[in-house]
Amino acid sequence: MANSNTDITKESFAKVNLADTESEKITGESVSAWKDALRRFVTNKGAMASMIIIAAIVLFAIIGPHFFGYDIDDQDVSRANLPPKIGALTWIPAFNGYENGVDIYKEKNVTKNYWFGTDQFGRDLWTRTWKGTQISLIIALIATLADVFIGVVYGGVSGYFGGMIDTVLQRILEIIAGIPNLVWIILLMLIMRPGLITITIAILATSWLSMARIVRGEMLKLKNQEFVLASRTLGAGDGRIIFKHLIPNSIGMIIINTMFSVPNAIFFEAFLSFIGLGIRQPQASLGSLINDGYQMLQIHPYQTLYPGIIISLLLICFNIMGDGLRDAFDPKLRR
């Protein structure tokens, strides 16, 4: 019972006056839900690594095509089908310009190095690959933006207004979703010319459905939340409720879903390229490069390899980043 602490003296027992306000004090800096999510995201190693890789790919997509001064359509059949060769890395078998034990550069009398090799037209694959990455990213961006807008508006209207509007919109959505993807693509393929617009339309025809569903769900969930009701009782109109309350609170879900629709769009573009609906020559996208290279898979695997690696990296990184964002925004993990 006796206290052995020696530094406890008589005056330690003096009463301290804790002001009421004192006990309300919050220490630490103010963090918004965004910052909070950001912090959690930053500590997620996988997600951060993914983001860095994506950033690097984007950077290369911008500067890569200017490295050697080639155009995407710089043909020269005298240097066709060269394997990759990087001067400083010739000790690595993958970059020594040999194929099946033969120095192709010597055989064709080529002195310049092509880091990713060349294709059958003698076009520099480094340039084409990064240019293709550019196009793929742009396609993904366009498709995703459009997808986000259609999906968000459709789902938002359906969920927020509810009632008859919701019923009708949901029935339409159900019917659209009832038609398989492939059927949409086929119909498009029959009546449209390949190219950027077709790709975008093809992606749009189907991909916004999930966004619409998610946004609708969010709206249904949020519009009966007490903070929305509170705003209502304060006399807020639809506009204020939508823009101040509903959208800021569903934007996390929208971002997460976008993270997943980017790789979907990239992958889909590759699939479209494969069935001949992709980008047109001499333009290249990652999908069309893989598709071109695929013909050569057994003979010149490097022609598929690099676009393949980049597309896979993009898909993987976007997916992991999406997962990371989901965790970062997960209300259950918040304390």
Which residue lies nearer to another protein by CB, 96 or 249?
A: 249
What's the CA gap between 250 and 233, in Å, rounded? 21
**Cross-strand bridge partners of residue 96:** 85
- C-beta of 229: minimal distance to another protein in Å? 6
Exactly one of 69, 109, 164, 234 binds another protein (CB under 8 A); that residue is 234
Comparison of 88 and 237: residue with beta carbon closer to another protein: 237
Within positions 78 to 97, which residues make up the interface with another protein, using CB under 8 A?
78, 80
Please name which of 291, 304, 274 lies closest in space to residue 199, comparing C-alpha atoms: 274
Does 121 bind another protein (CB under 8 A)? Our answer is: yes
To 5 degrees, how large is the angle CA 313–CA 316–CA 318? 100
Identify residues 209-228 at the interface with another protein (CB under 8 A).
225-227
Q: Which of residues 306-335 bind another protein (CB under 8 A)?
A: 308, 311-312, 315-316, 319-320, 323, 332-335
Half-sphere exposure of 112 (CA within 13 A, CB side): 14
**Which one, 89 or 192, has the nearer CB to another protein?**
192
Cβ distance to another protein smaller for residue 6 or 111: 6
CA 7/CA 152 separation, integer angstroms: 65
| Alpha carbons 297 and 201: distance in angstroms, whole number | 30
Q: How many residues bind another protein (CB under 8 A)?
A: 100
**Which structure tokens are listed for 190?**
């029959």
7-26 residues in contact with another protein (CB under 8 A) are 8, 10-16, 18, 20-24, 26
Q: Could you tell me which of 202, 60, 201, 200 has the C-alpha nearest to residue 132? A: 60
Q: Is residue 191 close enough to count as binding another protein by CB under 8 A?
A: yes
Regarding 109 and contact with another protein (CB under 8 A), the answer is no
Build a one-symbol-per-residue string for 171-190: x at contacts with another protein by CB under 8 A, - elsewhere.
x--xx--xxxxxx--xx-xx
Name residues contacting another protein, limited to 249-308 (CB under 8 A): 249, 263, 267, 270-271, 274, 276, 280-282, 290, 294-300, 304, 308
Told to check if 197 binds another protein by CB under 8 A, we report: no
Q: Is there binding between residue 106 and another protein (CB under 8 A)?
A: no
CB of 91 to another protein, least distance (A): 26
The residues, any chain, with a CB within 8 Å of residue 14's CB and separated by 6 or more, are: none
Nearer to another protein, 143 or 270 (CB): 270
Considering the rule CB under 8 A, would residue 72 count as an interface residue with another protein?
A: no
Question: Which H or E run includes 99?
Answer: strand 98-99
Among 88, 93, 100, 109, binds another protein (CB under 8 A): 100
Query: Least Å distance between CB 281 and another protein?
Result: 4
| Minimum CB distance to another protein smaller for 25 or for 88 | 25
Site string for another protein, 122-141 (x = CB under 8 A): x-------------------
CB of 230 to another protein, least distance (A): 6
Task: Give the long-range contacts of residues 325-332, CB within 8 A, separation 24 or more.
Answer: 325/37, 325/41, 325/47, 325/252, 325/255, 325/256, 325/259, 326/256, 327/40, 327/41, 327/44, 327/47, 328/37, 328/38, 328/40, 328/41, 328/44, 328/47, 329/37, 329/252, 329/253, 329/255, 329/256
73 binds another protein (CB under 8 A): yes
| Structural contact between residues 186 and 126, judged by C-beta atoms closer than 8 angstroms | no
Separation of alpha carbons 213 and 317, rounded Å: 24
Between CA 96 and CA 318, with CA 130 as vertex, the angle to 5 degrees is: 110
Q: Which is nearer to another protein, 91 or 298 (CB)?
A: 298
